[in-house]
Structure 1
Amino acid sequence: MDSRNLKRAGCLLVVSLLSSLVSMGTLAQSTINIKLAHNGNTNPNDPQNVGVQAFKEMVEERSDGTLSVQIYPAGQLGDARTIVEGIQLGTIEMADVENGPMGRFVPEAMLWDLPFIFRNIEHAHKVLDGEIGQAVQAKYPSVGIRHLAYNDGGFRYFTNNERPINTMADLEGLKIRVMESEVMIDTLNAFGASAVPMSFGELYTALQQGVVDGQENPMNHIYSQRFYEVQDYLSLSGHFYYPRQYIAGESWWQSLSEEHQEILSQAAIEASHIQRSALADYEVEMRRVLEENGMSINEVSKDEFIQAGLRKIYPSYYETLGGGDAAVGESLVQAIMDVE
């Protein structure tokens, strides 16, 4: 056999071997590795971790392993704002982050931070999953972010070491830590407290050392961060709703096939529903556990808080929320409040 025929025979052999490998499934597709970051805790029973674990399992199963999700909890890749910036830069593919820093990127996201904007959890879900929530989601690609689904952080409550918070007068003189959200800072100051924006990772030590008198967070965070060790009073104010969201980097998203995009989109929606259900059960248990750990828990008279928000906070954000048109912002807020 001359060299030309020998070369041809070798090529045919290689093609035959490759065909056999593909038919047997030996030649696997390359795997796309996805870093999914959040800055919650590492407790596998926490609803946030229940949600992201369900997301991971659905994505890997439905993609036949061509998508692999690695979860980075507890701020391993940075605090919430750093994670969102990593999403934009493409150093992190996906995240589950709270709404606190999102107004820095999409001003309309500050809607969800307005005090008492939602009457209850059912109202929140109807708005977020409906036309208004989808309209806000549509703003994200222009800033390099793909918004996939909203999930629950729950309603936020005050804790402190001085006294139960029953009325706004009880907040006077108290230094209360808040997230780095302009709306939240303004709201706490309007309520009579002194708002202190601070990283979540610094909060326990700040409470322990008396740098701040109190803080506000959902019940599961109050438990998971062991704030009951350094806080005596838990007041069920429910002043802010605390949405989180599954997001992805827009440039990275556009590099995916339509099939992979559909898998990730659907898994994010389903994981958000799993997380919401888990949180509803978890909060009931957490209240019992916090009482057992010595916290004094009280209901709050909310009317004056609600009126302070309506008078002092809402109007000052209408222009921002309306993209420069206060009338548009006001109508958007009213549309949320009108949702039955």
Structure 2
Amino acid sequence: MKRRHILAALLASVSLAGAAQACERTLRSSDTHPDGYPTVEAVKAMGKILEEKTGGKLCIEVFHSAQLGQEKDTIEQTQFGVIDMNRVSLGPFNNMIPETQIPSLPYIFRSTEHMHKVMDGPIGEEILAAFSDHDLVGLAFYDAGSRSFYNSQKPINSMADLSGMKFRVMQSDLFVDMVGALGANATPMPYGEVYSSIQTGVIDGAENNYPSYESSGHFEVAKYLTLDQHLIVPEILAMSKKTYDSLSADEQAAVRAAAKESVLVMRDLWAAREKASEDKVRAAGVEVITDIDKTPFIEAMVPVYQKYVTSDKLKSLVERIQATK
């Protein structure tokens, strides 16, 4: 499987021969989301900014729709330098980079605005820096909205309704434990397998944000959405350290600056897309449950925090995030 995805990436790099003539070097960037998705468009915008900043020396080609593989595979390819850049969820890094577990904790952020304030500041920079020990360079954080549960079986009006249900989660022990603490059963699986798994009854549902719920078509097979908003997890734009180290100091600075500028593009696109996706799923007849008491959900997370926030460093991160106004 890994060999097939690496071969696909290498073949894709060959196909860039024509595009590469436009600038001296074309960086390959991967995304599992479809063309037009805010993260995809933000990296495209970054490419234009980078081309301008470097006088045409560097540009970016975005391979959307998991053309180079699902996230776990593309992370490994990025570490090897087969893929130059990667827009990835933080979840798959949780077992590899402990610092990424903190912004992935349920209910750690009070709102999207709170998340922006934290991740745009020193705490965010500290978490980005942690990627350097894993053959990656953390460039910037993108939005992923708030994640909530959806399923094909019934409306979820309280935590008790989750009991015994099967939900897909990202391949992260933290997310498995989160779902377990709520009384449901977690099934880690790649994003691309969720639709058919709900359709065939392998799982009852999953959890995600409005744009992913809509663009994946999951709303077609799981028509009950409960806005419990258990996670507001940022996503990361990371670069292969091998690629980064091959750039000049000026090019490295241009890459970092272009990545930061692309965040503002992404946030504007995200706000518009989130509203459009909500309108679309509601028009399709999805039952959206908004009147829900989150207090029992938050209280159920105590053992999850106890399990994952163990070192003094991680405890300090949690305290600093909670203290951020």
TM-score, normalised to structure 1, is 0.86
Q: CA deviation at 1:161?
A: 1.6
Match of 1:232 among 206, 209, 223: 223
Whether 1:305 and 2:305 are equivalent positions in the alignment is no
Match of 2:57 among 54, 66, 75: 66
Whether 1:279 and 2:270 are equivalent positions in the alignment is yes
Q: CA deviation at 1:229?
A: 1.1
Whether 1:36 and 2:29 are equivalent positions in the alignment is yes
Q: CA deviation at 1:40?
A: 1.0
Q: Deviations over 1:88-131 (max 9, x none)?
A: 11111111111111123311111111100000001101111111
Whether 1:186 and 2:186 are equivalent positions in the alignment is no
Q: CA deviation at 1:255?
A: 1.3
Aligned to 2:131: 140
Tell me, which stretches of 5 or more residues in structure 2 are unaligned? 1-20
Q: CA deviation at 1:232?
A: 1.6
TM-score, normalised to structure 2, is 0.90
Aligned to 1:24: none
Q: Deviations over 1:174-224 (max 9, x none)?
A: 101111011111000100110010111111000111110011011001110
Instruction: Name the CA distance, whole Å, in 2 between partners of 1:277 and 1:187.
Output: 30
Q: Deviations over 1:228-252 (max 9, x none)?
A: 2101201111101131111111122
- RMSD of equivalent CA atoms: 1.5
- Asked if the contact 2:139/2:239 (under 8 Å) is kept, the reply is yes
The change in CA–CA distance for 1:293 and 1:137 in structure 2 (over 3 A counts) is same
- Asked if the contact 2:23/2:56 (under 8 Å) is kept, the reply is no
Instruction: Name the CA distance, whole Å, in 2 between partners of 1:190 and 1:260.
Output: 46
- Asked if the contact 1:158/1:235 (under 8 Å) is kept, the reply is yes
Q: CA deviation at 1:289?
A: 1.1
SS in 2 for 1:125: helix
Instruction: Name the CA distance, whole Å, in 1 between partners of 2:23 and 2:151.
Output: 52
| Structure number with bigger Rg | 1
Counterparts of 1:139-288 in structure 2, within 5 Å, are 139-288=130-279
Aligned to 1:122: 113
SS in 1 for 2:268: helix
Aligned to 1:5: none
For 1:230, the aligned partner's letter is: V
- Asked if the contact 1:315/1:330 (under 8 Å) is kept, the reply is no
Instruction: Name the CA distance, whole Å, in 1 between partners of 2:216 and 2:59.
Output: 29
Instruction: Name the CA distance, whole Å, in 2 between partners of 1:213 and 1:307.
Output: 24
Tell me, which stretches of 5 or more residues in structure 1 are unaligned? 1-27
Aligned to 1:98: 89
- Asked if the contact 1:60/1:66 (under 8 Å) is kept, the reply is yes
SS in 2 for 1:153: coil
Question: How many pairs were matched up?
Answer: 304
- Asked if the contact 1:106/1:140 (under 8 Å) is kept, the reply is yes
- Asked if the contact 1:163/1:233 (under 8 Å) is kept, the reply is yes
The change in CA–CA distance for 1:253 and 1:277 in structure 2 (over 3 A counts) is same
SS in 2 for 1:82: helix
SS in 1 for 2:285: coil
Aligned to 2:78: 87
Instruction: Name the CA distance, whole Å, in 1 between partners of 2:207 and 2:178.
Output: 12
Instruction: Name the CA distance, whole Å, in 2 between partners of 1:96 and 1:331.
Output: 27
Instruction: Name the CA distance, whole Å, in 2 between partners of 1:335 and 1:242.
Output: 17
- Asked if the contact 1:35/1:92 (under 8 Å) is kept, the reply is yes
- Asked if the contact 1:114/1:314 (under 8 Å) is kept, the reply is yes
> Structure 1 runs of 4+ off > 6 angstroms?
none
- Asked if the contact 2:23/2:59 (under 8 Å) is kept, the reply is no
- Asked if the contact 2:31/2:40 (under 8 Å) is kept, the reply is no
Q: CA deviation at 1:30?
A: 7.3
